[in-house]
Amino acid sequence: MKMTMRNVCGALVGLSLAACGPALEEEQGTSQQEASLEAGCTALSSSISSHSCLHSNNPADHLSVTATSGLTGSTPSINTSHKQYDVTLPAGATGTVKFRPATAGSWAFYRTQGNSITVKDGATTLTPALSHTVSVSGCGLVTVTVYDLASTTTDYQVDLGTASGNLVGVVAERVEDYRVRYYQDADNDTWGNSSVSVLTACVPPAGYITQRYDCNDANASINPSATELTGNSVDENCNGSLTN
Ligand SMILES: [Ca+2]
Ligand SMILES: [Ca+2]
Ligand SMILES: [Ca+2]
Residues less than 5 Å from ion ligand 2, measured at CB = 187, 189, 214, 216, 222-223
CA of 244 to the centre of ligand 1 (A): 20
CA of 186 to the centre of ligand 2 (A): 8
Cα–Cα dist 46/93, whole Å: 32
| Per-residue pLDDT at 42 | 86
| Per-residue pLDDT at 24 | 35
CA of 26 to the centre of ligand 1 (A): 19
pLDDT tens for the chain, 244 residues long, are: 444 444 444 333 333 333 343 333 444 433 444 334 556 788 999 999 999 999 999 999 999 999 999 999 999 999 999 999 999 999 999 999 999 999 999 999 999 999 999 999 999 999 999 999 999 999 999 999 999 999 999 999 999 999 999 999 999 999 999 999 999 999 999 999 999 999 999 999 999 999 999 999 999 999 999 999 999 999 999 999 999 9
Domains belonging to the chain, first-starting first, are 2-36+179-209 (no CATH), 46-177 (2.60.120)
Cα–Cα dist 9/198, whole Å: 19
Q: What is the pTM of this model?
A: 0.79
What is the distance in angstroms between the CA of the first residue and the CA of the last residue of the chain?
27
CA of 118 to the centre of ligand 3 (A): 57
CA of 209 to the centre of ligand 1 (A): 9
CA of 2 to the centre of ligand 1 (A): 23
| Per-residue pLDDT at 40 | 73
CA of 225 to the centre of ligand 3 (A): 10
164 burial (CB, 10 Å; 0-12 / 13-18 / 19+) is: exposed
The model's pLDDT over 124-155, given as tens digits with 9 standing for 90+, comes to: 999 999 999 999 999 999 999 999 999 999 99
CA of 228 to the centre of ligand 3 (A): 5
| Per-residue pLDDT at 25 | 41
CA of 187 to the centre of ligand 2 (A): 6
CA of 90 to the centre of ligand 2 (A): 58
Closest ligand relative to 195 C-alpha: 1
CA of 183 to the centre of ligand 1 (A): 9
CA of 15 to the centre of ligand 2 (A): 34
| Per-residue pLDDT at 9 | 40
The number of beta carbons lying within 10 Å of the beta carbon of residue 102 is 12
Cβ-contact 117, 109 below 8 angstroms: yes
CA of 218 to the centre of ligand 3 (A): 17
